[in-house]
Amino acid sequence: MPTPPTPDRPIAATIAVVIRDGQVLLVRRANPPDAGRWGFPGGKIERGETLAQAALRELKEETGISATEPRIFTALDAFDHGPGGDLRRHFILVAALCRWTAGEPVAGDDALEARWIDLDSIHDTGLALSLDVAEVAAQAAALMQTAQA
């Protein structure tokens, strides 16, 4: 199977950050970048789709969770490197804080597993987290507290 061409520019994607009852929703990724690592549900933004629409769609596809009111709050770089260290793809991940409305996590689409993780012990879970997951979760939790005050 031929290797797909390396895109000349970063790829726009979104991640959905959902916090409920002191827990954050994470998925174990099935595909690069970060295959096998735990991160937020998300994926590429489709043509004509808003950031909010993409976040909610990816959340539903990967976990079965329904949410509303996505609020964009940060952006991250994610690099997919080949075995020799060459850059295959560069993603710009736009994070959206989403309000949980229904459902319990069931892994689907690009996720191997999906579950709620306690925010207070995210560093002590022993899970292989993607870069910046704990920091983005903390930022989202702080944003939620500010909004509720």
Sign of CA dihedral 8, 30, 132, 129: negative
Q: Are 54 and 45 in contact (CB under 8 A)?
A: yes
- Take residue 105 and report the two structure tokens written for it: 């996590």
**Predicted confidence (pLDDT) at residue 66 exceeds the cutoff of 80:** yes
Residue 48: CB partners within 8 Å, gap ≥ 6?
Answer: none
Q: Residue 5: pLDDT band by 50, 70, 90 thresholds?
A: low
Torsion angle defined by CA atoms of residues 95, 38, 12 and 79, in that order, rounded to the nearest 10 degrees: 120
The domain spans of the chain are 11-148
What amino acid positions are annotated as catalytic residues? 113
Q: How far is CA 132 from CA 19, 35, 76, 88, in A?
A: 16, 15, 8, 20
Q: Are 95 and 15 in contact (CB under 8 A)?
A: yes
CA nearest 67: which of 97, 112, 46? Answer: 97
Range 11-148: architecture per CATH: Alpha-Beta Complex (3.90)
Q: Which amino acid is at 95?
A: A
Q: Which of 78 and 5 is assigned the larger pLDDT?
A: 78
From CA 21, how far away is CA 17, in angstroms rounded? Answer: 13
Q: Quick: pLDDT tens for 12-44.
A: 999 999 999 999 999 999 987 788 999 999 999
**Predicted confidence (pLDDT) at residue 3 exceeds the cutoff of 60:** no
